[in-house]
């Protein structure tokens, strides 16, 4: 009798779990929040960017999503030029970023994904130095999710981060390139 009751409870529990949307299934929504740190590369290595991001992703197929994310950035450091000139960087920005995300390896406990997005960013002062206050910011990278409980996942990864005005808004096209490390949470509903 005890054994039969145990199997019945396990069956009920398993059945109940199936009604909850699995992370990254098709036709699910995911709320994502992350914090990140970006270090410039090459001539931008003395510039750091701190970012907070929140977004909403829609998984239209298992492992494939389109998301819309809003981010705020704090830019600090200095830009050195070949001429010896050094210009301080100290500004704040806000941007919007539509993204595509593909979980190419996944199981119930974890997943690996690639993502790509491009969108505008607006800064209070020109960034990069000698640039403009309105720029584009393409980003791409590799990330991992780890299932924590129920609908909650921890996420993290690295991205290549680029900012430029795409030429045309000023006579030159100053740009910034960096590597971003980020971590956060994703909640499926």
Domain chopping of the chain, boundaries = 23-188
Q: In CATH, which of 2.60.40.10, 2.40.160.20, 3.40.50.150, 2.60.120.680 is domain 23-188?
A: 2.40.160.20
- Using CB atoms within 10 A of its CB, is residue 12 exposed (0-12), middle (13-18) or buried (19+)? exposed
Which of the pair, 160 or 6, is modelled with greater confidence?
160
Rounded CA separation 65/68 (Å)? 10
Rounded CA separation 1/4 (Å)? 5
Closest listed residue to residue 71, CA positions, set 117, 24, 127? 117
**Given this model, what pLDDT does residue 8 score?**
36
**Given this model, what pLDDT does residue 33 score?**
98
**Given this model, what pLDDT does residue 43 score?**
82
Evaluate if residue 15 carries a pLDDT over 50: no
**Given this model, what pLDDT does residue 18 score?**
43
Quick one: average pLDDT of 166-178? 77
**Given this model, what pLDDT does residue 165 score?**
86
Whether the CB-CB separation of 187 and 34 falls below 8 Å is answered with no
Question: Mapping DSSP to helix (H, G, I), strand (E, B) and coil, where does residue 147 land?
Answer: strand
pLDDT in tens, 118-171: 999 999 999 988 888 999 999 999 999 999 998 999 999 999 999 998 766 566
Residue 3 DSSP symbol: H
pLDDT in tens, 49-106: 999 999 999 999 999 999 999 999 999 998 877 777 888 899 999 999 999 999 999 8
- Residue pointed to by tokens 């909850």: 20
**Given this model, what pLDDT does residue 171 score?**
67
């Amino acid at each position: 009798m005890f054994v039969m009751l145990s199997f019945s409870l396990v069956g009920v529990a398993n059945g109940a779990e199936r009604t909850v949307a699995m992370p990254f299934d098709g036709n699910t929504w995911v709320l994502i929040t992350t914090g990140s740190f970006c270090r410039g590369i090459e001539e931008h290595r003395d510039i750091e960017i701190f970012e907070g991001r929140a977004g909403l992703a829609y998984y239209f197929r298992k492992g494939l999503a389109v998301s819309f994310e809003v981010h705020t950035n704090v830019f600090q450091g200095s830009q050195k030029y070949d001429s010896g000139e050094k210009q301080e960087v100290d500004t704040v920005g806000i941007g919007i970023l539509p993204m595509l995300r593909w979980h190419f390896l996944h199981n119930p406990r974890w997943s690996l994904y690639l993502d790509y997005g491009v969108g505008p960013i607006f800064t209070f002062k020109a960034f990069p130095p000698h640039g403009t206050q309105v720029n584009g910011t393409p980003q791409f990278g590799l990330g991992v999710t780890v299932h924590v409980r129920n609908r909650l996942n921890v996420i993290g990864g690295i991205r290549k981060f680029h900012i430029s005005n795409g030429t045309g808004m000023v006579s030159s096209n100053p740009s910034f390139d960096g590597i971003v490390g980020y971590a956060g949470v994703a909640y499926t509903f």
